[in-house]
Structures are given as C-alpha cells and as structure tokens.
Amino acid sequence: MRVNIFKYSSVGKKQIVAITGLMLVGFILVHLGGNFMLFGGPEKFNGYAEDLHRLGPILWAARAILLVAVSVHITLTFSLYLENRNARGTPYAVYADFGNTTFAKRTMILTGGLIFFFVVTHLSDFTFASKTGPRTVIPGVNGDASLGLFGLVWMSFLRPWRVVLYIGAVCMLGMHLSHGIQSFLQTLGINHSQWTPYIERVSNLIGVLVALGYSMIPLYVVIRHLTVGVGV
Amino acid sequence: MAKTISLTLKVWRQKGPNEPGRFETYEARNISTDASFLEMLDIVNKELTLQGKEPIAFDHDCREGICGSCGAVVNGHAHGHERETTLCQLHMRKFRDGDVLVIEPWRSRVFPVIKDLIVDRSALDRIIASGGYISVRTGQAPDAHALPVSKEHADAAFEAAQCIGCGACVAACPNGSAMLFVAAKVSHLSLLPQGRPERWRRVQKMVRQMDAEGFGACSNHYECEAACPKGIRVANIARLNREHLLAAFRARLFGEYPDIKVLPPSV
C-alpha cells in the first residue's frame, strides 16, 4: 500500500487547522477593536465602517481570505472529528478522565459549530443588512433620521433575545479560543517546560477577555439606552 | 498479619475477536492489600479454575512495570487511577474494602480484543516497523564517548525512551490517538546523533502508518500524559508536530519525499 504524499496526514491537517484558526483569531481581535468604536458615538462608529468600505478591493480580498480560512478550518476539523469518533470502536462502560481534559476542550466541535451558525445570523443581521432602512432609525434621536450601522446595532440590542444570543455566542467563542490558542502552539510544535504553563494561562485569559470585550457591546447599548440615552 | 479487603469485580468477558463481549460479576474475597492488581486477578482466576470456570485472560509478563504487556481500564482509568503506575505495579492497598471495580480492555478500534482483557496491539509494532529504528550495520558496540551528545538531549531522549508501548495513551485518549506513543519514539530517536540521518523521513513514515492504522488525531486533551505509566510528557507530541512540519517544508522546498510504503493494517 503506497501513500499519496500530497494527501495531508492527520498531523498536517491539524497544522492547517491551527494556522487558519490563528487567522480567524486575528480577525476576531481586529473586529473587537472596530466594535469598540461604538463607544465613540454614531459619527465615530459609522466613520470607521465607511473607512473600511473605502478600502474596496482590499476589504473584499480580506473577506475572501477569511472565507477560505473559515471553510478550511471547518472542513478539516469536521473530517478529523469524524475520524476521532471512529477510532474508539466499542465505547467504555466507564470512562473517567484524569482531569487534564476540560469542558472547553471536549466541546470544541460543539462551540465551533454554534459559533458558525451565529456568524451566519450575524452577517445577515449586520454586514448584509440595509444601512439606511427603518431598522437603522432610533426613535426620537437624530430627528428620526437613519443613524446608519450605529442605529442598526443600537436597535438590535434593544431586543433582549438578541442580547442573550450575542452574549451566549461570544462566551462560546471565548471558550473556543481559550483552548484554541494554546492548542495552536502545541500543534505547531511549540511547547516549553517553563513557558507553556504561562501560555496556557494567557490563552485562557484571552478567551475570557474576548468574551468580556464582545459582551460589553450589547451591555453598553442596553445600559446607555436605559440611562443617558444615545446622546446625540 | 497483612490486611485484607474484599471487592466486587465487573470484568469484560469476550471469548474471541468476533464474539460479543459482556460484563461478568465476580467477588474477590480476602485479598491481601500487599497483592498487586494482577495478583488479585490471579487469586480470582484460581477460584474460577477450581469452580471449573474459564479464568479471566489478561496480558502480563515482567510484572515489574517495565515490559508494557499488562494493562486494563479500571473504573475508567487506564492502568487504574494511580499516576505513573502500570497495572502490575498497582497494589490493592490503593483500593478500599467493598469497592466495585469495572475492568475493561483498552478500547480502540485499532486494538481488537483477542480475549477478555487482552487486545491486539500489533498496530504499534507496525508503526515501529515503518520508521521507528535506525539503520546501522551491527557489530562491536562503539565506545560510549565516541559520539558527543549534549546532556539536555541525552536526558530528553532518555525520558522519551522510557515508553514501554503499553498503549495506555490510546486507551485514555478521548480520540483514541496514538500520538504520545509515536511522539515518544520520534523524540527518542531524533534527539540522538544515531537517529539524525533518518530524522525527516522517519516522522513522515511513522505518522502515515499511524493514520493508516486508524488511530484518532490529537486534539490536545493531554489525558495520555496523565495515564502514561512512564510519565511521557506531551512536550514530545509538540516535538513530533515540529519535526513533521519541518519535514513537510523540506519535502516541498527540496523535493525530499521519502519513499513511504504503508504496511497493511492486519485488522
């Protein structure tokens, strides 16, 4: 039996998953930074969005790269997941872990899948939604004129179920990253007797910070709306 | 006089590879706490034999924790709950009177049950045959100081070389992956000068064989490290990943494709 050396091995697949995962982490951090522009008010936030759109072909190239990264990341992890499930055969009557595995590690495929479905709804809610339509108007603010993407985000988060969905999704994302980031380093061969314990903590910390950072967006909208209002 | 305990055992009984298996319950009475786990099974087997019943089949050889023959999953833990201990070195003083123990073979599609607790681990042998060796002409042993080896590399290679190939890493891994085993062999050989010439092709060949056998892939749960009776660390898996990545780059850049022939999995 001969092997096609161009067919990826399990290790090769994981390394591609790790690299595409890191690209997506990069996007998540940049996107979080962009979201924080919301705190600057409608002009700042919409201005940032317009600046991004002014990039034109560069923006579309970045989107294309992200789409490829997402597709590859999901396809390969799913194929690995199926292979892994198949490897056990007869299940254990009793299986007990030694405590090295964690809830976040065991649910990577689940959190990953849920994040994907959230991203689909997120894209249709914001990225591809009309930036001038009735959903962008905050009643009683700006003379009932459209507030663009800012208005869209603001009005969306005044619906409690959206806040719950969003915070739930970003918590999944944080959990996924807490294992994903440390896993990335191990899979590409970086493990150090002294640094790795800290890397693991930093990875968990990044997961928590990403979840908290994104959660601040809907919470800011809700709290601000209930207290001082939009302020324009 | 030694303390004794009595236990209830739920043992996986399976007549052959293609027979259905099931759990049978046995009482292990008045077991000395100085007995090892395998000695406890010996005592139970003696009683079963006297009753005219088929004794529980289990693998064992050295009974001093260095051969890698024994192993079973006890209450969900490969080699039992005690860290860095093979089943033969697990003593009954680690259990309490009245404990109920569920004893199962390693569960892996790649390790078919031969009988009861004995599984066929020849897949690990085929991984070794695929590249886990160094090609040298045999002859006189060279002088110990003929080849310089740094202390760091010698220590790391020695740590990896402690792998006894018992398969507990596969049994404990939620994905049924053999990465810790393969990583230990790759590390132990590639860290030493004798293993360097075949370094790049070795990692590729062994990984391909591992995949062909049908083991799962590592997703960094690190349960293997905790279950390993020799305490082989997952840093070795990182080294395997690193070697594999470098080997893949070298293959693409310099066209250094090893002639990989995968041995047919026998099962």
pLDDT in tens, B16-71: 999 999 999 999 999 999 999 999 999 999 999 999 999 999 999 999 999 999 99
Q: Are strands B4-13 and B100-104 parallel, antiparallel or unpaired?
A: parallel
Least confident of A56-60, A62-66, A84-88, B252-256: B252-256
pLDDT for A185-232, tens place per residue? 999 999 999 999 999 999 999 999 999 999 999 999 999 999 988 866
pLDDT for A3 equals 52
pLDDT for B239 equals 97
- Chain B CA closest to residue A192: B235
pLDDT for B267 equals 52
Please say if the pLDDT value at position A4 is more than 60.
no
Please say if the pLDDT value at position B257 is more than 80.
no
Contact A1 B248 (CB under 8 A): no
Please compute the mean of the pLDDT values over residues A168-184 and round it to a whole number: 98
- Chain B CA closest to residue A103: B221
Read off the amino acid at residue B228.
C
Please say if the pLDDT value at position B140 is more than 90.
no
Residues in A touching B248 (Cβ below 8 Å): 12, 15
Please compute the mean of the pLDDT values over residues A9-20 and round it to a whole number: 96
Give me the domains of chain B, ranges plus CATH numbers: 4-114 (3.10.20.30), 122-254 (1.10.1060.10)
Estimate to the nearest angstrom the gap between the alpha carbon of B182 and the chain centroid.
Answer: 10
Residue A17's alpha-carbon distances to A14, A63, A115, A183, A188, in angstroms, are 5, 18, 16, 10, 10
pLDDT confidence bin for A26, thresholds 50/70/90: very high
- CA dist., res. A149 & res. A152, Å (int): 5
Rounded to the nearest integer, the mean pLDDT of chain A is: 93
Residues in B touching A89 (Cβ below 8 Å): 107-109, 112, 176
Say whether residue B213 is in contact with chain A using an 8 A CB cutoff: no
Please say if the pLDDT value at position A123 is more than 90.
yes
pLDDT for B204 equals 93
Q: Are A175 and A111 in contact (CB under 8 A)?
A: yes
pLDDT for A2 equals 52
Q: Are strands B73-74 and B77-78 parallel, antiparallel or unpaired?
A: antiparallel
Please compute the mean of the pLDDT values over residues B193-208 and round it to a whole number: 93
Rounded to the nearest integer, the mean pLDDT of chain B is: 94
Give bridge partners of residue B12 from the DSSP assignment.
B23
pLDDT confidence bin for B146, thresholds 50/70/90: confident
> Out of A3, A15, A89, whose CB is closest to B108?
A89
pLDDT for B145 equals 83
CB atoms within 10 A of CB B52: 6
Please compute the mean of the pLDDT values over residues B174-198 and round it to a whole number: 96
Contact B260 A2 (CB under 8 A): yes
Percent of chain B whose pLDDT exceeds 90: 86
Least confident of A144-148, A221-225, B127-131, B172-176: A144-148
SS3 content of chain B, % helix, strand, coil (to 5): 40, 15, 45
Please compute the mean of the pLDDT values over residues B193-220 and round it to a whole number: 94
